[in-house]
Structure 1
């Protein structure tokens, strides 16, 4: 009977540990020596509606600084990004693609960016993809990060980043250039339609505050950059952020804003903070 009880307890503990997180974008962080609460918010980098609800505005009011993935008010950020846009070792897009696919991409970029693929020949293909994000929307481009920064500026608070531009750009040196190029070809051949459909679905999941759904969508995506590289895109970065977040929160109550998919899952920021001893609660 004792063995049966222990087995049952172990099973229940396992079920509890793997339980999905609540549907919330805003989370309060307390305990583990913190004198004041900090907050964690899941953002979306491109959207039609970046408005913030009352709870989020209250959390921004209660905190004394904003920390995003990058220090986005750093005036040198654009210059730093330019340094890391090129593929390493002189790799060229024209060498990654056959002649026919390169022509398809060339026509596609001329149509959507008014520039030839030859101008981007040495660029990491994913960087070219990001330039096309506004074309995937049927509305004016908005950014949650920009909205958070606007509020912080009004409150005369500082903005920090959890990682450098170099750190973030190097992520795309650790994802096969061949895969990045292949995804750019797929985008060109569908003339953005598939990407528009996927972004529309993602925005609906985000609006429902389903952070676990955001992570599952990445898992299930046909895009090999996201579905096959979550260790590079999410997990490794999440783990690197935890010690930095701990140091920052100890100094001042902080509002953290990172991509919503970073929050979810067993290796997401929420559960990693809990493992570190913090109490992390959904703010509904």
Structure 2
């Protein structure tokens, strides 16, 4: 099951981190936040992930491990405990139609040239893959290292403690949000942005826990327009903020979602605070 989950994550989780430009509010430099108040029996925790990082740069801080040990359940964006969801994740990487019939002739030629240069194989070798899967392959090539995934590591930690893993949304919903946010043309044009320099900068900012900078970097306007922002960030954040209270009402939950979802006026931190919860950074 864990091997299946890792292969699936490499196909979709990275792309779900792409978001759009928005006004930001400066908040403390911390990836880990405590949620309390409003009648909660116990504190819960909110952690911002980056979906993939080189193993040599990967770390889970002591404060994060401590918070995780206090939690009764783990909640990720997707439920890796659900076998049907894992199957759906695998299927989401396979295109229902040949790639050459989905994209325009001009975009197909552009993609073909790019893949030959980047991966050493032309677009005809990826006819049955979705553009999301192709983008993840390009990202792995750019990362050029042995990767580790925070979601998978937290899932393994939860399994070791024999605590339940929950999902805040379904993979089919994620793919629907993605389809409403990006056209095939936009996804192909974005392939050039994810080079080794991008990942080096993201890693440095992430490991400094500079949450606002992570938000600003991942919400660059070249990635998405206002309509995309609505689907990739605002609606998903609102859905999660509605679902989280019931999950953490009587038990402590460790929520781990993409770090770009935490910041901003419509971010999860802001939405929970507006709902009456106390959300404060854990600095050490």
Q: What TM-score results when the alignment is normalised by the length of structure 2?
A: 0.80
Flag the structure with larger Rg: 1
Alignment of 1:48-197 (within 5 A): 48=54, 49-85=57-93, 92-93=99-100, 96-99=103-106, 102-109=108-115, 116-121=122-127, 123-183=129-189, 187=191, 195-197=195-197
CA distance in 2, matches of 1:138, 1:84: 24
CA distance in 1, matches of 2:185, 2:196: 20
Matched, 1:209 2:204: no
Q: Which residue of 1 aligns with 2:274?
A: 275
In structure 2, do the counterparts of structure 1 residues 223 and 176 end up closer, same or farther at CA, with 3 Å as the change threshold? closer
Please give the per-residue CA displacement for 1:43-79, whole angstroms capped at 9, x wherever unaligned.
0101123321111111011111100000124333342
Alignment of 1:204-243 (within 5 A): 204-220=204-220, 222-224=222-224, 229-243=228-242
Which portions of structure 1, spanning 4 or more consecutive aligned residues, are displaced by more than 6 angstroms?
A: none
CA distance in 2, matches of 1:51, 1:125: 30
Q: Which residue of 1 aligns with 2:32?
A: 26
Q: Which residue of 1 aligns with 2:200?
A: 200
**Contact preservation (8 Å) 1:46, 1:144:** yes
CA distance in 2, matches of 1:116, 1:182: 14
Is there any run of 5+ residues in structure 1 with no aligned partner, and where?
1-17
CA distance in 2, matches of 1:19, 1:133: 29
Please give the per-residue CA displacement for 1:163-213, whole angstroms capped at 9, x wherever unaligned.
0111111122202324334425xx3xx5x7x52222221121111111111
Greater shift, 114-123 or 22-31, is seen at: 114-123
CA distance in 1, matches of 2:227, 2:130: 18
Cα RMSD for the two superposed structures: 2.6
